[in-house]
């Protein structure tokens, strides 16, 4: 789209003083695709058992526009943590658009995310 600006000097009898043409780019959306799909979309940071975990939204594969967007949550432990490994939920979010899926993931509060993390972590007894 091009936008022409015609600036007229007041009292100069309506002759153009200068004309500029600018290129205008329309921004459709800031959240259409994640910046790095391999890492998912960062939706929150939570505390669990004395550690800080990052929460990511992982969308399933390439989505056809007519189909629902299905996603799970992935919990990444702090960097340098040797004992803790990432944990993921099953598909929890099914929405009509990418934006709705991200909004749904960001709508979970810390308490809910901590509960989902606990359910995704292996049982302490099974690790022995």
For residue range 44-81, list pLDDT tens digits in order: 999 998 899 999 999 987 656 667 899 999 999 988 77
Rounded to the nearest 10°, the torsion over CA 16, 22, 26, 27 is: -130
The Cα 41–Cα 29 span in angstroms is 15
Q: Which among 29, 83, 93, 82 has a CA at the least distance from the CA of 55? A: 93
Domain spans, the chain:
37-123
CB 99 within 8 A of CB 107: no
pLDDT for 81-126, tens place per residue? 777 789 999 999 999 999 999 999 999 999 999 999 999 998 864 4
Query: Where do the DSSP E strands lie in 9-107?
Result: 16-23, 41-48, 51-59, 69-76, 87-88, 93-95
Q: Hey, how many other C-beta atoms are within 10 angstroms of the C-beta on 40?
A: 21
* φ/ψ of residue 55, rounded to 5: -110, 130
Q: What is the rounded CA–CA span in Å between residue 6 and residue 3?
A: 10
Which of the 8 DSSP states describes residue 82?
A: S
Pull the structure tokens for residue 107. Answer: 């709508």
pLDDT of residue 2: 45
Q: Taking all residues of the chain, what is their mean pLDDT, rounded to a whole number? A: 75
Residue 25's pLDDT band, with cuts at 50, 70 and 90, is very low
């Amino acid at each position: 789209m091009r936008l022409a600006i015609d600036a007229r000097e007041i009292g100069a009898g309506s002759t153009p003083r200068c004309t500029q043409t600018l290129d205008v780019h329309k921004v459709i959306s800031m959240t259409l695709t994640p910046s790095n799909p391999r890492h998912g979309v960062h939706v929150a940071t939570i505390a669990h058992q004395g550690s800080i975990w990052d929460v990511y939204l992982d969308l399933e594969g390439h989505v056809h526009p007519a189909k629902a967007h299905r996603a799970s949550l992935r919990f990444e432990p702090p960097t340098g943590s040797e004992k803790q490994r990432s944990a993921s939920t099953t598909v929890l979010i099914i929405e009509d658009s990418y934006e709705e899926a991200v909004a749904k993931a960001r709508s979970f509060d810390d308490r809910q995310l901590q509960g989902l993390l606990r359910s995704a972590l292996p049982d302490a007894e099974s690790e022995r």
